[in-house]
């Protein structure tokens, strides 16, 4: 009967030739020559020392490539020590033959789980993983895993040639790289970036509904932006993104109304919404004014004098400057009596007159007229502060109204910019308004991210993007062509229509919840998976050897 090595060589040849019957016969002959079944504990123990056996095999092959005689000398020295009970004896073929005999004794059908467990827990593999520097990115962890898997695969003993050893390393690299890739994917499902984005959380809290692409950001967002050019689905995406921008507008408006307990009417948007906010704030102020008395103080006088000087000495047409001085004197200062005081009713009339003139001048095409409107707004602000100081009993209610007006100014400015179609402004418009109305020195609050409404502007620009898409821009001829393509393949228009359906409000709401809502421990679990990936990469490489070989 042929020896075990010959039978194994014949088995490899039969496998290579695809002769299943011969391979089955030879495998049975090999099984007949094997030792009795090796216990699971022995297989586990063998797995623990596999890296040592494989390392010795690699070393012998390397030495043989340089000097075959040196291998014989080393083996003789080893056996001289073995005769004295110091080391184990090597067969005539050295470590290579010893490895073949060992593999023949341990060979099983299918995956040898006890031996694989020993491989994974081997101190050699643990030492490899421990020495690998922690990578911050998925790509880095995949590269490190491939390296660990290749080393682990190379250290596994085999009964073949050096070429087989290279194959082992390749398979080990593939399996080792797969582990961190899988853990990263699982981690992103458990805790996607969208579930850890504080700016997205802020928008959701404020009632803003981004699309799923905007929520995911990165590649998903870019793909969604490109898909706007597609027929059917493009209009649906643009509409969903416009809906998110309108939500942001409503969030700003509702913040302005929150101090007085107001809310934007359902369905109001654009200029209608701006008018509603202004009306509610004006009503709250006008209801309170008759109950108040207003007395000029030093702070008010200084603010007015300072403003007068700025207008007189500023780069404004002299006639426009005279217009400002006339309105200030006739409509504001002249209303104060000898005691420098106003009744609530008089203050209400002043507010009404100022509001009308600000609206008239602010809507002018003349730049100097708009500058006069800005100066009158400052007068209006100083008057409201004076009212608050003069009526401490109503101070809390006045502060709430003034806070609403301050937020409203950002809303009004953003809606007035060119590009805010029908008064619907973009996150970039909001940011510009916030910056323009930051009165701190050198725009310091805006630079630090502390300006009023800046949190919404920053979050909107980061998640929603700078612009509001133009809904309905997909080429109608493209849509006709897409319908016609159904004659070639009905799946084409069906797929586009299905994609459009996916951007309906209910579906997008469900998708947004799916990618952005996770329990608190999810992030810790995802982080743990990524941190343990290096320890599992050698196991991945070894499992790939067992499965693919």
As a three-state string, the secondary structure of 385-446 is: HHHHHHCHHHHHHHHHHHHHHHHHHHHHHHHHCCCCHHHCCCHHHHHHHHHHCCCCHHHHHH
> Is 331 part of any domain?
yes
What is the rounded end-to-end Cα distance, in angstroms, of the chain? 27
Boundary-marking domain end, from 441, 464, 487: 464
pLDDT at 125 over 80: no
Asked whether residue 390 carries a pLDDT value surpassing 80, the answer given is yes
Write the pLDDT tens digit of every residue in 64-112. 888 888 888 888 888 888 888 887 888 887 887 887 777 777 777 677 7
Average pLDDT, the chain: 80
Q: 129 — phi, psi (to 5°)?
A: -65, -40
pLDDT of residue 268: 92
Contact 475, 218 (CB under 8 A): no
Q: Do 7 and 48 fall within a single domain? A: no
Q: How far apart are CA 79 and CA 91, in angstroms?
A: 9
Query: Quick check: 188 pLDDT over 70?
Result: no
On whether both 289 and 145 belong to a single domain, the answer is: no
Residue 36's pLDDT is 61
Q: Are residues 17 and 79 in the same domain?
A: no
| Containing structural domain, residue 88 | 34-189+535-548
Could you tell me the sign of the dihedral formed by the alpha carbons of 303, 307, 308, 313, in that order?
positive
Q: Which is more confident, 512 or 186? A: 512
Q: Of the given ranges (142-151, 152-161, 229-238), which has the lowest mean pLDDT?
A: 152-161
Q: What is the pLDDT of residue 484?
A: 46
**pLDDT tens digit string along 290-318?**
888 888 899 999 999 999 999 888 888 99
pLDDT in tens, 160-178: 665 577 777 888 788 778 8
At residue 476, does pLDDT exceed 50?
Answer: no
* Residue 292 located in a structural domain: yes
18 & 40 share domain? no
Own/partner pairs, 88-94, CB within 8 angstroms, 24+ separation:
94/60
pLDDT exceeds cutoff 50 at 474: no
338 and 255, same structural domain? yes
pLDDT score, position 191: 58
- Say yes or no: 29 and 41 in one domain: no
Q: Is residue 301 assigned to a domain? A: yes
* Burial of residue 6, with CB atoms counted within 10 A of its CB: 0-12 exposed, 13-18 middle, 19 or more buried: exposed
Q: Look at residue 389 and tell me whether its pLDDT is greater than 80.
A: yes
Do 48 and 94 fall within a single domain?
Answer: yes
Which of 269, 245, 236, 209 lies closest to 473, judged by CA?
236
pLDDT exceeds cutoff 50 at 515: yes
* 414 shares its domain with 458: yes
Percent of the chain residues topping a pLDDT of 70: 82
**pLDDT tens digits for 265-286?**
998 999 999 999 999 998 998 8
**Could you tell me which of 152, 139, 118, 138 has the C-alpha nearest to residue 49?**
118
Does residue 479 fall inside a structural domain? no
**Do residue 261 and residue 399 come from a single domain?**
yes
Mean pLDDT is lowest, of 148-157, 268-277, 383-392, 464-473, for 464-473
Domain boundary among 464, 485, 515: 464
In a domain, 235, yes or no: no
The answer to whether residue 318 is domain-embedded is: yes
Looking at the chain, the number of H-run helices and the number of E-run strands are: 26, 2
Asked which of 464, 497, 512 is the last residue of a domain, the reply is 464
Read off the tokens for 445: 């609050």
Whether 472 is in a domain gets the answer no
Is residue 15 domain-shared with residue 142, that is, in the same domain?
A: no
Considering the entire predicted model, what is its pTM?
Answer: 0.60
Q: What is the mean pLDDT of residues 530-539?
A: 68
What's the domain count of the chain?
Answer: 3
272 and 129 share one domain: no
Q: Could you give the count of Cα atoms lying within 13 Å of 400 in the half-sphere of its Cβ?
A: 14
- In whole angstroms, what is the distance from residue 182 CA to residue 394 CA? 62
Average pLDDT over residues 15-22: 79
| Statement to judge: residues 16 and 138 lie in one domain | no
**pLDDT at residue 257, rounded to an integer:** 96
Identify the pLDDT of residue 483.
Answer: 43
184 vs 188: CA distance, rounded Å? 6
Q: Which of 350-354, 428-432, 466-470, 513-517 has the highest mean pLDDT?
A: 428-432
Residue 506 lies in a domain: no
Q: Where residue 524 falls among pLDDT bands split at 50, 70, 90?
A: low
Question: Which carries the bigger pLDDT value, residue 427 or residue 95?
Answer: 427
């Amino acid at each position: 009967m042929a020896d075990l090595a010959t039978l194994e060589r014949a088995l490899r040849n039969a496998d290579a030739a695809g002769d299943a019957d011969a391979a089955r016969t030879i495998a049975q002959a090999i099984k007949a020559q094997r030792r009795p079944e090796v216990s699971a504990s022995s297989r586990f123990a063998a797995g623990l020392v596999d890296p040592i056996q494989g390392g010795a095999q690699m070393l012998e092959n390397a030495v043989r490539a340089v000097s075959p005689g040196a291998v014989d000398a080393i083996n003789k020295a080893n056996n001289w020590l073995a005769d004295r009970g110091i080391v184990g004896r090597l067969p005539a073929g050295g470590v290579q033959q010893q490895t073949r005999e060992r593999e023949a004794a341990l060979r099983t059908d299918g995956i040898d789980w006890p031996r694989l467990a020993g491989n994974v827990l081997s101190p050699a593999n643990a030492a490899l993983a421990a020495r690998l520097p922690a990578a911050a990115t998925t790509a880095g962890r995949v590269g490190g895993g491939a390296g660990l898997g290749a080393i682990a695969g190379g250290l596994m003993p085999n009964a073949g040639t050096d070429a087989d050893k290279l194959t082992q390393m390749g398979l080990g690299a593939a399996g080792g790289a797969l582990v961190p890739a899988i853990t990263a994917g699982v981690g992103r499902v458990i805790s996607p970036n969208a579930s850890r984005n504080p700016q997205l959380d802020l928008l959701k809290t404020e009632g803003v509904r981004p699309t799923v692409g905007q929520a995911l950001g990165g590649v998903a967002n870019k793909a969604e932006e490109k898909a706007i050019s597609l027929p059917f689905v493009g209009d649906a995406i643009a509409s969903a993104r416009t809906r998110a921008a309108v939500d942001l507008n409503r969030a700003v408006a509702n913040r302005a109304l929150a101090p007085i307990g107001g809310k934007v009417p359902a369905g109001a948007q654009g200029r209608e919404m701006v008018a509603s906010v202004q009306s509610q704030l004006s009503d709250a102020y006008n209801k309170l004014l008759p109950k108040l008395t207003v007395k000029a103080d030093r702070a008010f006088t200084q603010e007015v004098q300072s403003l007068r000087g700025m207008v007189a000495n500023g780069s404004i047409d002299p006639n426009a400057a005279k217009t400002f001085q006339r309105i200030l004197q006739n409509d504001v200062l002249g209303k104060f009596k000898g005691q420098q005081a106003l009744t609530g009713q008089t203050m209400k009339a002043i507010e009404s007159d100022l509001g009308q003139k600000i609206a008239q001048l602010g809507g002018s095409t003349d730049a100097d007229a708009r500058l006069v409107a800005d100066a009158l707004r400052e007068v209006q602000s100083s008057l409201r502060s004076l009212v608050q100081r003069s009526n401490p009993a109503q101070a809390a209610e006045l502060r709430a109204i003034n806070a609403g007006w301050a937020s409203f100014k950002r809303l009004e400015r953003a809606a007035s910019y060119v590009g805010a179609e029908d008064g619907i402004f973009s996150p970039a418009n909001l940011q510009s308004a916030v910056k323009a109305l930051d009165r701190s020195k050198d725009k310091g609050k805006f630079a630090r991210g502390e300006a009023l409404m800046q949190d919404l502007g920053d979050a909107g620009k980061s998640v929603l993007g700078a612009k509001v898409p133009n809904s309905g821009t997909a080429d109608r001829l493209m849509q006709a062509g897409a319908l016609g393509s159904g004659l070639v393949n009905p799946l084409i228009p069906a797929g586009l229509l299905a994609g459009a359906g996916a951007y309906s409000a209910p579906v997008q709401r469900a998708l947004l919840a799916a990618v952005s809502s996770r329990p608190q421990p999810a992030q810790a679990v995802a982080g743990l998976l990524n941190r343990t990936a290096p320890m599992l990469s050698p196991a991945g490489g070894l499992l790939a050897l067992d499965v693919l070989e």
